[in-house]
């Protein structure tokens, strides 16, 4: 599958051996040394740099990168968050629900993700064979690689349905692999994340929250348990993160997406000091009609009166032809003296809403209301009037919609996991079909590996 998964030759790690003193993230920049895989694991510095390269791949070319081709853009177009009037036929297919298996954006999501999974597996195999690193060093790096492997498979199964769960760098085996049964994929994700949580340290491996630690694994497990409807475990993991003194609630919506936000659990370093997020470059525009995706007017008008998220996180551009709205959570598309914004992948607000939803299902009404009000009050809104399980779940879904828009596909995944996709999208998407709950497998991959057949229904 071009790893086949896009990996034909054994990987040569390109590592920066001289670590920057002014940034607390191990960056991979202009190559100073090319190291074959075994040599990487003879030193903690080179092993750390190789792990840093995996994070750099997430930042530059992954599903969660804030690019036009990442999930924050594509799935916001696929759901009811965004509209698109630009010239890209392939993005328009996402917006109109007319995606074909030959869409290169689908192929890109698949290939880049499996390439990154391959890199994580290569790291795990190298660590297992290393005799130079200490047990603590191997445990920490193995925890990071296991987290990345589970994290990426989570997106694959939610986007494509049944997919191969790849745990080896064996090219021959990978080139003819078949789909792993749906339930087994989920169990493998949970197993990888549970082991990662055990291996990862309490403290971050760097001074900033740009590499994963034990709490990041717990936060992700909370999300996984929510999706799996394991309400007790979802609430327990979310509570562990909420109670962690490393994370402090931010009361001001204008401070939520800044680099120094105390509510950030895990973020992507922008790569170079002074750069900011790709998200800002993807979503911000200054004239209309925009060539970039813009927030749908029906989404923007759905905010309650007085919601500070509408004021702080949405930007309006108007001229004589009309008005258009851009996602404005990240406000710095250009460089600054020092980086001011990082792309946030996990933040405290999600943990409160996970716990609220879990408690609604567990009939812990007052606890659910308290967490829901935490979100609403920060947005300048009054306490919820919802008091039954049904009312509370509807209120939580609404808060998630306006809290997480244009963030790594949250809205689409919420519609999918709660069974609301057809109800919400069929009236507004002329191309909607019930089978579009998952995307097509890339046609190029099916041609390379017949064991991936059949194609997903409807494509």
pLDDT tens string 172-186? 999 999 999 999 999
Residue 18 clears pLDDT 70, i.e. is over it: no
pLDDT-based confidence at 4, cuts 50/70/90?
Answer: very low
What confidence tens digit (pLDDT) does each residue in 419-442 have?
Answer: 999 999 999 999 999 999 999 999
Confidence label for 5 from pLDDT (cuts 50, 70 and 90): very low
- Label residue 32 by pLDDT band (50, 70, 90): very low
Cβ within 8 Å of residue 342, ≥6 positions away: 208, 210, 259, 264, 267, 268, 269, 270, 276, 277
- Rounded-to-integer distance, Cα 299 and Cα 185, Å: 34
8 A C-beta contact, residue 216 and residue 346: yes
Q: For residue 357, which of 346, 347, 348, 369 has the smallest C-alpha distance? A: 369
Structure-model confidence comparison of residues 16 and 61, the more confident one: 61
Note the pLDDT of residue 235. 98
Model confidence pLDDT, tens digit, residues 39-79: 899 999 999 999 999 999 999 999 999 999 999 999 999 99
Q: Per-residue pLDDT tens for 241-297?
A: 999 999 999 999 999 999 999 999 999 999 999 999 999 999 999 999 999 999 999
Tell me: cis bond preceding 21? Omega within 30 of 0 counts.
no
175 contacts 449 by C-beta, under 8 angstroms: yes
Q: How does residue 35 score in pLDDT terms, banded at 50, 70 and 90?
A: very low
pLDDT of 93 > 60? The answer is yes
Residue closest to 420 by CA, chosen among 396, 450, 440: 396
Q: Quick check: 212 and 318 in contact, CB under 8 A?
A: no
pLDDT of residue 31: 32
The answer to whether residue 137 scores a pLDDT higher than 70 is yes
Q: Tokens 């394991």 correspond to what residue?
A: 230
Q: Find all residues with CB under 8 Å of 319, minimum gap 6, and list them.
A: 287, 288
Residue 443, exposed/middle/buried by CB under 10 A (0-12, 13-18, 19+)? Answer: middle
Distance CA 98, CA 95 (A): 8
Q: How far is it, in rounded angstroms, from Cα 379 to Cα 400?
A: 12
Cα–Cα dist 236/351, whole Å: 10
For tokens 């193995």, name the residue: 142
**Structure confidence at residue 3 (pLDDT):** 42
Give the C-alpha separation, 310 to 297, whole Å. 12
162-168: long-range contacts (C-beta < 8 A, 24 or more apart)?
A: 164/452, 166/3, 166/5, 166/114, 166/117, 166/118, 166/121, 167/121, 168/121, 168/125
Measured in degrees and rounded to the nearest 5, phi and psi for residue 314 equal -130, 135
pLDDT of residue 27: 30
In this predicted structure, the answer to whether residue 13 has a pLDDT above a threshold of 90 is no
The predicted model gives 89-110 an average pLDDT of 98
What is the SS3 string spanning the chain?
A: CCECECCCCCCCEEECCCCCCCCCCCCCCCCCEEECHHHHCCCHHHHHHHHHHHHHHHHHCCCCCCCCCCHHHHHHHHCCCEECCCCCHHHHHHHHCCCCCCCHHHHHHHHHHHHHHHHHHHHHHHHHHCCCCCHHHHHHHHHHHHHHHHHHHHHHHHHHCCCCCCCCCCHHHHHCCCCCCHHHHHHHHHHHHHHHHHHCCCCCCCCCCCCCCHHHHHHHHHHHHHHCCCHHHHHHHHHHHHCCCCCCCCCCHHHCCCCCCCCEEEEECCCCCCCCCHHHHHHCCCCCCCCCCEECHHHHCCCCCCCHHHHHHEEEEEECCEEEEEECCCCCCCCCCCCCCCEEEEEHHHHHHHHHHHHHHCCCHHHHHHHHHHHHHHCCCCCCCCCCHHHHHHHHHHHHHHHCCCCCCHHHHHHHHCCCHHHHHCCCCCCCCHHHHCCCCCHHHHHHCHHHCCCCCCC
Is pLDDT of 15 > 90? no
CA atoms within 13 A on the CB side of 76: 32
Does the pTM surpass 0.85? The reply is yes
| C-alpha to C-alpha distance for 52 and 210, rounded to whole angstroms | 10
Q: Between residues 311 and 30, which one has the greater pLDDT?
A: 311
Distance in angstroms (rounded) separating the CA atoms of residues 80 and 293: 12
End-to-end CA distance of the chain: 19
Q: Compute the distance between CA of residue 309 and CA of residue 254 in angstroms, rounded to an integer.
A: 9
Model confidence at 341, in pLDDT bands (50, 70, 90)?
Answer: very high
**Domains in the chain, please, with CATH?**
13-270+343-428 (1.25.40.390)
Other CB atoms within a 10 A radius of the CB of residue 272 amount to 12
**Whether the predicted pLDDT of 26 surpasses 60:** no
Evaluate the CA torsion angle 88, 341, 409, 307 in order and state its sign: negative
pLDDT tens digits, residue range 109-136?
999 999 999 999 999 999 999 999 999 9
Q: What percent of the chain has pLDDT over 70?
A: 92
pLDDT at position 404, please? 98
Q: What percent of the chain is predicted at pLDDT more than 90?
A: 91
């Amino acid at each position: 599958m071009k790893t086949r998964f896009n990996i034909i030759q054994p990987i040569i790690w390109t590592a920066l051996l001289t670590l920057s003193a002014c940034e607390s993230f191990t960056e991979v920049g202009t190559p100073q040394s090319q190291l074959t895989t075994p040599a990487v694991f003879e030193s903690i510095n080179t092993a750390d740099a190789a792990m840093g390269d995996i994070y750099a791949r997430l930042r530059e070319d992954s599903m969660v990168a804030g690019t036009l081709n990442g999930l924050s853009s594509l799935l916001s177009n696929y759901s009811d968050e965004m509209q698109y009037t630009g010239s890209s036929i392939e993005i328009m297919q996402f917006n109109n629900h007319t995606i074909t298996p030959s869409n290169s954006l689908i192929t890109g999501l698949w290939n880049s993700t499996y390439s990154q999974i391959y890199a994580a597996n290569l790291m795990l195999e190298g660590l297992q064979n290393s005799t130079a690193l200490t047990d603590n060093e191997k445990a920490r790096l193995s925890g990071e690689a296991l987290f990345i492997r589970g994290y990426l498979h989570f997106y694959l199964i939610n986007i494509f349905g049944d997919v191969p769960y790849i745990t080896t760098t064996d090219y021959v085996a990978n080139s003819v692999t078949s789909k792993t049964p749906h339930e087994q994929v989920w169990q493998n994700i949970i197993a990888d994340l549970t082991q990662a949580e055990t291996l990862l340290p309490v403290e971050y491996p760097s001074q900033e929250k740009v590499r994963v630690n034990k709490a990041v694994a717990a936060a992700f497990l909370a999300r996984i348990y929510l999706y799996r409807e394991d309400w007790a475990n979802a609430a327990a993991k979310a509570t562990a993160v909420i109670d962690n003194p490393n994370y402090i609630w931010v009361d001001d919506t204008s401070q939520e997406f800044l680099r120094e936000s105390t509510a950030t659990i895990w973020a992507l370093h922008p790569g170079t000091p002074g750069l900011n997020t790709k998200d800002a470059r993807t979503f911000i525009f200054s004239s209309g009609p925009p060539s970039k995706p813009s927030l749908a007017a029906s989404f923007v008008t759905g905010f309650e009166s007085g919601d500070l998220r509408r004021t702080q996180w949405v930007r309006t551009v108007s001229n004589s032809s009309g008005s258009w709205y851009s996602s404005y959570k990240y406000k710095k598309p250009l460089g600054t003296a020092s980086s001011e914004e990082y792309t946030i992948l996990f933040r405290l607000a999600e943990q409160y809403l996970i716990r609220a939803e879990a408690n609604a299902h567990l009939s812990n009404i007052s606890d659910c209301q308290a967490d829901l009000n935490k979100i609403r009050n920060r947005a300048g809104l009054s306490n919820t009037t919802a008091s039954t399980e049904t009312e509370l779940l509807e209120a939580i879904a609404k808060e998630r919609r306006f809290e997480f828009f244009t963030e790594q596909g949250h809205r689409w995944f919420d519609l999918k996991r709660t069974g609301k996709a057809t109800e919400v999208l069929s009236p507004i998407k002329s191309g909607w079909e019930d089978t579009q709950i998952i995307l097509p497998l890339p046609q190029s991959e099916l041609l390379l590996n017949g064991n991936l057949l059949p194609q997903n229904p409807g494509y």
